[in-house]
Amino acid sequence: MTPMARLEACLAQHWWVPNGVDVVDRPALCYLASSAIPALNLVLRLRGTPVELPALVDEIHEAHRHAGSTCWVYPHHEGAALAGLLSRRGYRPGPAGDARVMEIASCRVEQGDAFSVAPLKTLDDCRVGVAVSDAAFGRQSAYTDADFRQILSLGTRAGAHRVQFLARTVETGAPVAFGSVSIHEAEGFAVLLGGGTLPAFRGRGAYRALLAARIGYARACGVRWIGLFADPTTSSPIVGRLGFVSYGRRVRWVRPPLSTDDGIAH
């Protein structure tokens, strides 16, 4: 299995999905569907022959009729044929991420002494971490206390798949960066997720400190590879300079909630 295939396999896992979200998982197709949580109408894997693809896209269309839909398309997927089918169903290409992978044994990232980085330990840590992430990415999350408790439980229990980290300045203790790492022992792989830094602290070493802490955690877990889908304009150049190899670009295709009877773009 190539590093890119391992990265895709890790991100198609759904152990983290909350109760009440439907999961369909077959070799050709993996998606989530939820009327209660629109953001979780996600297509995590979509592949097939040109003959099979129309039926697969139709299945997703039906499963996500009640809300918007997001479909991740990987660089080794079916290209123009898949793009045409998604376009017909109202999807449009959105943000892309550079697939970057490196062997952990080769990672040499120093944390520096201006920032301290630690895993989330309390509900207040969770709230602060999400606030930092929202500010870094220009969004507004709507988490409940139950959501925060689940986040904390997933990251602090024995053998946790995903651990979230918060970076603070050593001088004042102010929170400045937030991100997580997901461990996949079966694939020998760790995935870096959601690393973001407050705009005022970018270019000052906070992201590098956050990266170093997560790499250190993954190394202690004994996996061989570490990878991420990095923003082409921000994190990708940073990790590229550190030796993470590019394996192509994943594109997020997005379809808003349907506004026609059949959901087909005319």
Least confident of 2-11, 45-54, 150-159, 175-184: 150-159
- Give the model's pLDDT for residue 62: 93
Q: What is the per-residue pLDDT across 36-61, written as a single tens digit (0 to 9) for each?
A: 888 899 999 998 888 999 999 999 99
Q: What is the per-residue pLDDT across 87-114, written as a single tens digit (0 to 9) for each?
A: 999 999 998 999 999 999 988 888 889 9
pTM of this structure: 0.84
Render the burial of 170-191: b for 16+ CB within 10 Å, e for the rest. eeeeebbbbbbbbbbeebebbb
Q: Please state, in angstroms and rounded to a whole number, the distance separating the CA atoms of residues 9 and 108.
A: 26
Contact indicator for 38, 67 with CB cutoff of 8 Å: yes
Q: What is the per-residue pLDDT across 203-226, written as a single tens digit (0 to 9) for each?
A: 899 999 999 999 999 999 999 999
Alpha helices in the chain (DSSP H): 3-11, 53-63, 79-88, 123-137, 145-156, 206-221, 235-241
Domain 109-241 has CATH 2.60.40.10: no
